[in-house]
Structure 1
Amino acid sequence: MQVSVETTSPIERRLTIQVPAAEIDEAVSARLKDTAKTARLNGFRQGRVPMSVVQKRYGPSVRNDVVGEVMRERYVRAITDEALNPAGYPSIDPTVNEAGQDLEFVATMEVYPEVELASIEGTDVERPVVEIAEADVEEMIETLRKQHADWQVVERAAADGDQVKIDFQGFIDDEPFDGGSAEGHELVLGSNSFIPGFEEQLEGAKAGDEKTVKVTFPEDYQAEHLAGKEASFKVKVHEVKAQVLPDVDATFIERFGVESGDVAEFRAEVKKNMSREAEQAVDNRVKQQVLDALKAANDIPVPSALVQQEVDGMKRQAAQQFGLGEDFDVSQLPNELFEEQAKGRVQVGLLLAEVIKQNELDASDDDIKAKVEELAGQYQDPQEVVDYYMGNEQLKTQVKSAILEEKAVAKLLEQAQVRDVNMSYQQALAAAQQQAEQREEDGADEESANA
């Protein structure tokens, strides 16, 4: 077997492989002899079909089978001999495939990029320092009360925070438009779930009132045929409901797993959960700054096969998130919605893998168990969660990957200039949310630019 390797790009290789004709012809001949033993053709007894007839009847298909098997086997042998690290499956095409001639085929493949890590030294990283105040705890308890509130019909005008049951129909230029009507819709005023300006105009309305609400659709509205258009809605108000918050008593407290029903214990549990959430927000904010710096310093080429794998995974996540069902064909979702973000994820993954390799980072079973115990603390029966994870190799691998990523980020953070910034609980969460939204926006802008 002769192999030549051509570098067609930093991450693409073109292998030209030749196999002696004698090897192919001998393999085809042996396969035809085996076929002749079991061949059933009209006019001949089984096993008595002349080889010339077998050759004419089965020769082309047998040769195709043999050539396919040989190309796959020799490709694997070639990448092993040449110490190539393929990323995804190759494209294999025969260029010479004739009896009596050496078989020649070309395998075009992507390989993992060679990464020479550039330092992120000097990068300015902002690390929030968060203190949970009693006022934050009080606000969180108020939020929990609202989440478990009841609605009670009232005989008064609707105010901000009330729920109204309405029928509505929308018009543009006095013509009704699709999707602009509903009956018995329950809308919480101030929830900002409708077009800007709609909810405010229903404040002061009472049950039985009919109103005309005039609004303008935002320029970036998702339905392009409505974007920027002025519209009017005829609205009928059926009832107004006020929110009735539950008392912070034993019944309410027990809903959150505090079996004693004690207010002080409940507040401590709420504060502990808020501290955990704030810590997670801080870690994510610091981590993202580090990873953004790592990407900026190391603009490596990314194999398209790995990007497509990530796109496929993101499609499945999206289908699950939006409840599209297990039978939904995710290929219906366009790749363009996910490609830029997928490319970024793959790039980060390759760079972190190199950080882990260069620093010889690892995670022991003790490390994994400690991390699982940390996560399990949020559940009612922590030991059951620990036993489940530690008894499942796939889950342990996932936890190990998360630990290695944390260690890699910590190692990179040593190169950065870390600046502590005092933030309130709400500020820390808002900053994390803003950062996430900015990443999505940057991804969308980059995708538009590439288009």
Structure 2
Amino acid sequence: MATAVETLDKLERRLTISFPIAEVQSEVEKRLKVRARTAKAPGFRPGKVPMKMVAAQFGYQVETEVLNDKVGQAFNQAANENNLRVAGFPRIEPKTSETVAEGNVAFDATFEVYPEFTVGDLAGVEVEQIKGEVSDVEIDKTIDILRKQRVHYHVKGEQGAHGDGGEQAAQNGDRATVDFTGKIDGVEFAGGKADDFAFVLGEGRMLPEFETATLGLKVGESKTFPLSFPEDYHGKDVAGKTAEFTITLKQLEWAHLPEVDAEFAKMLGITDGDLSKMRTDIKENLEREVKGRVKAKTKDSVMDALVKAVEFDVPKTLVEQDGQRLAEMTREDMKQRGMNVNDVPFPPELFAAQAERRVRLGLILAELVKANNLQATAEQIKAQVEDFAQSYEDPQQVVKYYYSDRSRLAEVEALVLEENVVTYVLGKSKVTEKVLPFDELMGNNAQA
């Protein structure tokens, strides 16, 4: 039996569940008799253990199971009868004997319900629809990046098929191999000494003072110079301190980039070495990447607009659950990166804001899908899978990969559903087109 639902807060509810102790005892006895059929104890054959011993061994466990089952059944029945959309799991607490009818056992179930809301008129909602283009400039930049990724080095001064490298002093783009020693107050410090250490000048791998001191050196030359470590330097023992370094240039190599010719095109997978095919292939790849980033940024704009436009209270239970899920995902991601995080705390509170946004958006999207029939169709899911597959050598194998696992297909379905929502909102809201420069759209990927 369950009492009437009591409202505690905007979304928080409580009801009391009670039932006769005799019902519990009767069910416990039934289950113990089942256990007795296979129970084992020293000195007794299986199934011949006295009921008192069976009850002593399994009684508490079975009674707990019975109570959990009966409370769960009663709660679900009460939720159905009262048309309650329960968010998360209820918090079950036993009631004190003073407030419980004689011969009964009772529990308070405290829980949250999903908020009731509608997504109103979106005509006044402002959304940015991002656009991006791929021109010859971007193709040329990409070719330069691909050349740099295939760079090879020759010792300066040694004549070869590509020359001797010209100027024998170190300059940006050269790979320098040095010995160095660093001291603070005349004492060497951990990590401040290395032999045969190689780095490319101009890539920013070393602190500016180190690179500046290396520039202009010739093989065999040394230089001593001061170097100030930044306050936020990753090495805490030297952060904010000034060291004196001595470097000796042992080897200097110059970078030779491959020519943009048929051989270069073949390296990129163009079997006949046709440069026009190579550029077309690069353009298609860039356009595919731009398309994905444009869609992602437009989707972000739509989601931001929905969060601002639709106000309602979010169930705390769902936020806490998602915060725990995000904390665990972060921990696993860091483990995959080789980081030791066994003793590192990941309190869900750190993820509360992100979790609240995710839950809010999930509820808004669910409401939009239900109210406007935006469910993903089988045809849309198939088209999305085939689109994914186009960037792989064996598209059919990729299609089979997705369709062989329901969970993988569910991920695609979720993406299609989001796209349906984005399309719907773009058709109902106040849209402003915004063209992003290629470099800004691509972020760090646009840099060499």
TM-score with structure 1 length normalisation?
0.80
Pair 1:73–1:251, CA change in 2 (3 A)? farther
How many angstroms apart in 2 are the aligned matches of 1:76 and 1:197?
69
Pair 1:330–1:24, CA change in 2 (3 A)? same
Pair 1:364–1:126, CA change in 2 (3 A)? closer
How many angstroms apart in 2 are the aligned matches of 1:426 and 1:159?
27
How many angstroms apart in 1 are the aligned matches of 2:181 and 2:123?
59
Alignment of 1:38-187 (within 5 A): 59-96=59-96, 101-117=103-119, 121-155=123-157, 156-187=168-199
How many angstroms apart in 2 are the aligned matches of 1:387 and 1:149?
38
Q: Is 2:281 the counterpart of 1:279?
A: no
Q: Greater CA deviation, 94-103 or 243-252?
A: 94-103
Encode CA deviations 1:166-217: one digit per residue, 9 max, x unaligned. 3445445555554555444332222223335433332223333433454444
Query: What SS class does the counterpart of residue 93 from structure 1 fall into?
Result: strand
How many angstroms apart in 2 are the aligned matches of 1:57 and 1:42?
13
How many angstroms apart in 2 are the aligned matches of 1:46 and 1:419?
77
CA contact (8 A) 2:227 2:243 kept: yes
How many angstroms apart in 2 are the aligned matches of 1:288 and 1:396?
23
How many angstroms apart in 1 are the aligned matches of 2:77 and 2:4?
13
Q: Greater CA deviation, 408-417 or 32-41?
A: 32-41
Query: What SS class does the counterpart of residue 210 from structure 2 fall into?
Result: coil
How many angstroms apart in 2 are the aligned matches of 1:331 and 1:106?
37
Q: Greater CA deviation, 23-32 or 256-265?
A: 23-32
How many angstroms apart in 1 are the aligned matches of 2:126 and 2:213?
47
Residue 410 of structure 2 corresponds to: 397
Residue 200 of structure 1 corresponds to: 212
How many angstroms apart in 2 are the aligned matches of 1:35 and 1:99?
31
CA contact (8 A) 1:281 1:432 kept: no
Identity %: 35
Ranges in structure 1 where 5+ consecutive residues have no aligned partner: 434-451
Pair 1:369–1:65, CA change in 2 (3 A)? closer
TM-score with structure 2 length normalisation?
0.80
Residue 305 of structure 1 corresponds to: 321
Alignment of 1:343-382 (within 5 A): 343-382=356-395
What is the deviation of 1:150?
Answer: 1.1
What is the deviation of 1:141?
Answer: 0.5
How many angstroms apart in 1 are the aligned matches of 2:65 and 2:378?
47
Paired residue type of 1:2: A
How many angstroms apart in 1 are the aligned matches of 2:187 and 2:111?
57
CA contact (8 A) 1:315 1:333 kept: no
Paired residue type of 1:308: Q
What is the deviation of 1:43?
Answer: 8.3
Encode CA deviations 1:298-320: one digit per residue, 9 max, x unaligned. 35425211232233234333433
What is the deviation of 1:245?
Answer: 0.9
Ranges in structure 2 where 5+ consecutive residues have no aligned partner: 158-167
Pair 1:104–1:229, CA change in 2 (3 A)? farther
Q: Is 2:401 the counterpart of 1:388?
A: yes
CA contact (8 A) 2:376 2:420 kept: no
Pair 1:15–1:408, CA change in 2 (3 A)? same
Pair 1:224–1:46, CA change in 2 (3 A)? closer
Residue 161 of structure 2 corresponds to: none
Residue 24 of structure 1 corresponds to: 24
Residue 335 of structure 2 corresponds to: 319
Encode CA deviations 1:50-81: one digit per residue, 9 max, x unaligned. 76676566644543343234334434444444
Pair 1:99–1:260, CA change in 2 (3 A)? farther
CA contact (8 A) 2:327 2:346 kept: no
Paired residue type of 2:371: Q
How many angstroms apart in 2 are the aligned matches of 1:310 and 1:112?
21
What is the deviation of 1:154?
Answer: 1.8
Q: Greater CA deviation, 155-164 or 134-143?
A: 155-164
Q: Greater CA deviation, 370-379 or 96-105?
A: 96-105
Q: Is 2:270 the counterpart of 1:268?
A: no
Query: What SS class does the counterpart of residue 148 from structure 2 fall into?
Result: helix
CA contact (8 A) 1:88 1:306 kept: no
Pair 1:264–1:219, CA change in 2 (3 A)? same
Encode CA deviations 1:228-282: one digit per residue, 9 max, x unaligned. 4444444343322222111223332223232221001001111121222222222
Larger Rg: 2
CA contact (8 A) 1:218 1:228 kept: yes
How many angstroms apart in 1 are the aligned matches of 2:175 and 2:129?
40
Encode CA deviations 1:98-134: one digit per residue, 9 max, x unaligned. 9974222233444444443355544544445433322
Residue 438 of structure 1 corresponds to: none
Residue 436 of structure 1 corresponds to: none
Alignment of 1:215-294 (within 5 A): 215-222=227-234, 227-294=239-306
How many residue pairs get aligned? The number is 429
Pair 1:222–1:348, CA change in 2 (3 A)? farther
Provide the alpha-carbon RMSD of the alignment.
Answer: 3.6
